[in-house]
Structure 1
Amino acid sequence: MRLSYARIQPARPGVSRVATFALAALVAIAGIASPLTSVTAQEKLIPGGGSAVAGQSTEPVVVVTLGSIDQLTRDLNYFSGAIGQPQLGGMFAMMAGTFTQGLDTSQPVGIVVPLIDGAPEPIALLPTSNVKTVLKRMEAQVGPADELDDGTMVIAIGANTVFIRQVGNWAVLARNRAVLDRAPADPSALISEMGTEYDIAVRLDVQQVPPPMRDALIGQIRQGFDQAMKQQQNGDEAAMEYAAQSIEQLEQVIDQTKELMIGIDIDSANRRVLLETEFTAVPGSKLARIYDGQKPIPSAYSSVIRDDAAGYVHFASSIGPEALEQAQTSVDGAMQMLGSALSQTDKLSESEQAEATDMIRRVVELMMDSAKEGKSDFGALLLTDANKLQFALGAFVSDGGEAASIVKDVAAKVQGRGDAPRFEFDVNNYKGVNMHLVEADVPADEDEVRKIFGEQVRVHIGTGPKAIYVALGDDSLPLMKQLIDSEATPVAPSGNTLMQVQVNLMPILQFAQSIENNDAIAAMIDALSRADDAGELRIVSEAIANGQISRFIIGDGMLQAIGAAARQAQQAKMNQGF
């Protein structure tokens, strides 16, 4: 039976939470996407079902997924418990059980956005084998749905009309009736992988966006930049030039990006939280060549990757000519801007400005000369124990002698100035590495610093033919020598990892507690002692064809420690109230 559109009423509060998410996101994405094009494909309601939408469409430009209700319930229960707020997970589970009747709670929810006749048209995908049952339960909030001759259902969400059609075990929703014909025949094939791997994820296929639309976006960015520059009084020419270069690089990214994916997952099975990004460039483009120029290489400093570390940073990769060219352009612009900024300060004399500029220039030139050798190799390691801290780093440079010369020139310029540190050069030599020492007194009122370093902070610097090393404190010298030893036998990469950073909170907190007792730190240590890890925070980047994957991981221990700190802060606040 065909019903009148006049029966459609504005939505009222209390609509099914999952259905509301899909419908609201549908409307929101439509509102965001529409300004990107001058073409609008709004449905014109015609009795019997007519449409202003023609047949030319693309693969989805955007795919958004939300994990299944079952998955979200498990993950939020874990997360809320880990941070010490289990009631939050319980509230979600209760609401999910109440408001998801009629939906398949084992399947994800999705929104896909194809371009139809050049206009973005969001399509929401709800897992249900009987959407009429779901709509019937929503009648108290949105009124009864109208049914068209072909079985399409029609409801109103605020001022927006939404068309709904059953496609197998899925309900397909769109702003325009004809857009429903463009919905994927098997939604699960399109969204199941992302919806299973992440609690929420977005994938953008940039090349599906027509060049005129990409050009319009770039034009808007340039227009905003030009307006900002005009508003500045006596605008700095160097800063303007540097900003213009940045705009050009952004234009390259927009024009040459193939696909971008961002996913967030509360991984209850592995007891961690994951933020993952995946970027790929158009094959054969300059941007793709930049990424393909970055490959893992044998590293002299991979020994910093240790399970007992309080923290480490390691990266070792090749550097391609395209990346060097782009980096040089950015560095040149930054140096011009820095020189201009120094010339405008009244805290330095002209000679001091010149000296500062020259020193920075030499450091930057050494960095660029090192990169021009086609690689980067760096490792830093932090170890902590009760009342003991060790930190050392090693890095490849093109000319260790120039690095030593820079430090010696700095020493000459600060010599005799107030509380300037003391320098000793070429104190000894270890396996071809010249050892230098920088020493500074710790003020008597810096009690905590003195507990860590004593009355003096001693920094050891080593300069070899192609390397520079730094050790913080005498206790760190053995670590520094281990890095020097490892330079002779670089370790080949075992995978595609370009960079990794890890922090383990437990040893850091134990060290801090040994310096000065603190109730909040004690609570965090207690929580970590029961966690699955030592309070891990990890960042990893991996090379892929024409792109890169990056992961930001928060381990169970870190979550437990955050929860313990929050509870301790709440308790302290309550105690202050009495």
Structure 2
Amino acid sequence: MTYLTASWRCAAPAVLMLSAAAYAPIAVAQPAVLEEPAAVAGGKMTTVVAAAVSSYDNLMGDISYLAKVSGNPDSVQMLQGTAGMFTQPVDKKKPWGFLMQTDGAQFVPLLCLPMKDFDAAMQMLAATGVEPDDLGDGVFEAQVPGQAQSVYIKQQGPWALLSNLPDAFGGAPADPGPMFTEMAKGYSISVKAMVQNIPPMYRQVAIGSLREGIEAGLEQEPDESDETFAKRQELAELQLANIERLFTEFDTATIGWGVDQSAGKTFLDVVYTVVPGSKLAEQVAVYQNSKTDFAGFIDPAAAMTMGLAVENSPELMQSDIEQMKLTLATVREKAENEIDNDPSLPNDEAREVMKSALGDVMEVVEATVSAGKMDAGAKVMLSDASATITAGGHVVNPEKIETALRKLVKLSEGKPDFPGVKWNAATHAGVSFHTMSLPIPADAAPARKLFGETVSVALGIGESELYLAAGSDYMDAMKSAIDASKASPGKKSDPLMMVMSLKPFIATAQAVAPPNPEAAAVLDMLSDALEDAEGSDRILMTQQYITDGIKMRFEMEEGVLKAIGAAATLGVQQRAQGGF
């Protein structure tokens, strides 16, 4: 059982007892030269990692809400009963947490528990068979039976501090409450890493290990050309340089989980900040002005929609662009080697055509990446047993995509199963569309139910845009999305977003799934769970700019939680009955 696991389960005296077992491997794992406690007593301590829980009551309230929503309200009662026995001396309304501190040589863990009655906690600990020894100055030593390593406990005001080193408390904050309160704002649990507080010696060890790992994989492959091998070496050096820069310019990284009961959702945030004034700060700053020319493809009412809107100056992103170019060059050469060895291609002429088409596509990708503008949107519409997919994005030289397609079509002409392409089948708002109908194999029954015997596809080529549509009413859907986009050019947008509604996917799966009683039972239960979840059945992902940083949020709404609970319940029932 780990140190943190023990803290979540039992807190207070139970944590005091279980912590000793977990501190032992922490102490053993440190190099011998770093084990001197005197270094802690004399050195200035800084916090490298901190974890905070909003409070015992808040955490249990959120867990109870999730258990109730997911249809398993009884599952939390045992946890509450067990924890309640051991947390009587703990102040259940205050935040508590964990600190990993360093003096530059070794790392020192500290668990910080807010106490209502420290003496009562020590008495309860003694009642479990662990008699703490009073070392003076408010420090106690607890020896857990069967463990060589002791855990040390210090009373500091209303706090109980725990560590595996007796001299670790000198660098502890006098009152860790404000830090934990700030970290826990809006979260049930949060963990924060302060990258700039990592001692330089450990940074160099990490970078050195990464370099050794990368260099170990840099042997030239038997069929690899000298040119490609040189590019891989150059790419590795760029990657290492970027990693070193991250250690210098990356400031903090935070993961926070919370529940918004009033809004009916749970969420996970991944937040990072960079050093103000750094090159990374300049790169991140552009995210606050994200705009899209493809707003018509971003539709929250769709079964699924996503958007990307980031524009950076090529000069600012030069090292990243160079790394991407080298990556693309390596990918291209490997793809060309696969083409050369593809037995399905009839002759060398066909192989050259394939490589030429590949080159056209790769040139578009490289030019677009080099320009620094990433702007795109897409959506999936589901209705009964039909689907429509539309997507659009900014690219440089989109006509090269058409050139590549024409080469591939010419190569396939004359084959009996090739449906052909209708060039310039339609035009709209300056966009030329080329269409084709792709046959769906007879054994792909779900796809046939969704699209029919063929799926209609359209490729649109604009001045600096590329469009793709497929499915039912694909051209009308595409034209509508283009018109909506043209009506709102440069619309403010999140740098990255995705929304998926679970209910239409379940309904579509029910309509097209092949006969299978067990799968049907799962789908029916999910459908029942989502019956009243209209508007609360979404999984969302958003990315937003914060001062000198980025916040990525993942959300699940109440309907999704109900569906997960229903699926878990059915899974347990079917396993008990010998099902899948």
1:466 is the counterpart of 2:457: no
1:543 is the counterpart of 2:545: yes
**In 1, are the aligned partners of 2:20 and 2:143 still within 8 Å (CA)?**
no
Distance in 2 (CA, whole Å) between partners of 1:15 and 1:465 is 57
Encode CA deviations 1:203-257: one digit per residue, 9 max, x unaligned. Answer: 1111111222201111122223334556x97595365654554344333323321
Paired AA for residue 343 in structure 1:
N
Distance in 2 (CA, whole Å) between partners of 1:512 and 1:24 is 48
Encode CA deviations 1:377-401: one digit per residue, 9 max, x unaligned. Answer: 1111111111332211111122332
Deviation (angstroms), 1:490: 3.2
Change (3 A) 1:265 1:572: same
2:324 counterpart residue number: 330
Bigger shift: 389-398 or 112-121?
A: 112-121
**In 2, are the aligned partners of 1:165 and 1:172 still within 8 Å (CA)?**
yes
Deviation (angstroms), 1:512: 2.5
Deviation (angstroms), 1:66: 3.0
1:302 counterpart residue number: 295
Change (3 A) 1:58 1:351: farther
Deviation (angstroms), 1:277: 0.8
Deviation (angstroms), 1:428: 2.4
Deviation (angstroms), 1:340: 3.7
1:515 counterpart residue number: 512
Distance in 2 (CA, whole Å) between partners of 1:75 and 1:32 is 31
Bigger shift: 96-105 or 416-425?
A: 416-425
Encode CA deviations 1:344-398: one digit per residue, 9 max, x unaligned. Answer: 6732566555544443332232133234444221111111111332211111122
Mapping 1:331-370, distance limit 5 Å: 331-340=325-334, 342-343=336-337, 346-348=341-343, 354-370=352-368
Mapping 1:496-575, distance limit 5 Å: 497-516=494-513, 518-531=520-533, 533-573=535-575
Distance in 1 (CA, whole Å) between partners of 2:236 and 2:20 is 36
**In 2, are the aligned partners of 1:300 and 1:486 still within 8 Å (CA)?**
no
Paired AA for residue 339 in structure 1:
E
1:201 is the counterpart of 2:187: no
Change (3 A) 1:325 1:422: farther
Change (3 A) 1:400 1:486: farther
1:182 counterpart residue number: 171
Deviation (angstroms), 1:342: 4.2
Mapping 1:142-157, distance limit 5 Å: 142-157=129-144
Distance in 1 (CA, whole Å) between partners of 2:67 and 2:8 is 25
Change (3 A) 1:71 1:269: farther
Give SS of 1:519's match. helix
2:474 counterpart residue number: 476
2:34 counterpart residue number: 40
Mapping 1:308-323, distance limit 5 Å: 308-321=301-314, 322-323=316-317
Encode CA deviations 1:429-450: one digit per residue, 9 max, x unaligned. Answer: 1121111102212233332222
2:53 counterpart residue number: 66
1:434 counterpart residue number: 432
Bigger shift: 466-475 or 377-386?
A: 466-475
Distance in 2 (CA, whole Å) between partners of 1:361 and 1:205 is 44
**In 2, are the aligned partners of 1:392 and 1:476 still within 8 Å (CA)?**
yes
Give SS of 1:360's match. helix
Encode CA deviations 1:140-188: one digit per residue, 9 max, x unaligned. Answer: 4352111133232221243222222222221122233332121112211
Deviation (angstroms), 1:573: 4.8
1:108 is the counterpart of 2:95: yes
Root mean square deviation of aligned Cα: 3.1
Deviation (angstroms), 1:315: 1.6
**In 2, are the aligned partners of 1:533 and 1:556 still within 8 Å (CA)?**
no
Deviation (angstroms), 1:196: 4.7
Deviation (angstroms), 1:532: 7.0
Distance in 1 (CA, whole Å) between partners of 2:29 and 2:102 is 13
Paired AA for residue 306 in structure 2:
V
1:416 counterpart residue number: 414
Give SS of 2:266's match. strand
Give SS of 1:422's match. coil
**In 1, are the aligned partners of 2:296 and 2:483 still within 8 Å (CA)?**
no
Distance in 2 (CA, whole Å) between partners of 1:235 and 1:147 is 69
Deviation (angstroms), 1:107: 2.0
Give SS of 1:101's match. coil
Give SS of 2:434's match. strand
1:87 is the counterpart of 2:74: yes
Change (3 A) 1:311 1:144: same
1:131 is the counterpart of 2:118: yes
Deviation (angstroms), 1:572: 4.4
Give SS of 1:110's match. strand
Change (3 A) 1:150 1:156: same
Distance in 1 (CA, whole Å) between partners of 2:279 and 2:115 is 45
TM-score between the two structures when normalised by the length of structure 2: 0.87
**In 2, are the aligned partners of 1:425 and 1:437 still within 8 Å (CA)?**
yes
Deviation (angstroms), 1:323: 2.8
**In 2, are the aligned partners of 1:266 and 1:273 still within 8 Å (CA)?**
yes
Quick one: percent identity of the two aligned structures? 26
Deviation (angstroms), 1:271: 2.9
Bigger shift: 422-431 or 394-403?
A: 394-403
- The equivalent position to 2:391 in structure 1, one of 386, 390, 393, is 393
* Structure 1 gap segments, 5+ residues each: 1-12, 44-50
1:166 counterpart residue number: 155
Give SS of 1:258's match. strand
Deviation (angstroms), 1:112: 1.3
Deviation (angstroms), 1:539: 0.7
Deviation (angstroms), 1:117: 4.7
Deviation (angstroms), 1:37: 6.8
Deviation (angstroms), 1:558: 1.2
**In 2, are the aligned partners of 1:390 and 1:473 still within 8 Å (CA)?**
yes
Deviation (angstroms), 1:286: 2.9
Paired AA for residue 104 in structure 1:
D
Change (3 A) 1:21 1:277: farther
Distance in 2 (CA, whole Å) between partners of 1:481 and 1:150 is 76
- The equivalent position to 2:204 in structure 1, one of 191, 203, 215, is 215
Distance in 1 (CA, whole Å) between partners of 2:124 and 2:476 is 70
Paired AA for residue 264 in structure 1:
W
Give SS of 2:46's match. coil
1:281 is the counterpart of 2:244: no
TM-score between the two structures when normalised by the length of structure 1: 0.87
* Structure 2 gap segments, 5+ residues each: 1-5
Deviation (angstroms), 1:138: 1.2
Question: Paired residues, what number?
Answer: 556
Distance in 1 (CA, whole Å) between partners of 2:337 and 2:562 is 50
Paired AA for residue 186 in structure 2:
E
Deviation (angstroms), 1:414: 2.7
Deviation (angstroms), 1:498: 0.9
Distance in 2 (CA, whole Å) between partners of 1:22 and 1:482 is 64
2:253 counterpart residue number: 260
Distance in 2 (CA, whole Å) between partners of 1:280 and 1:33 is 31
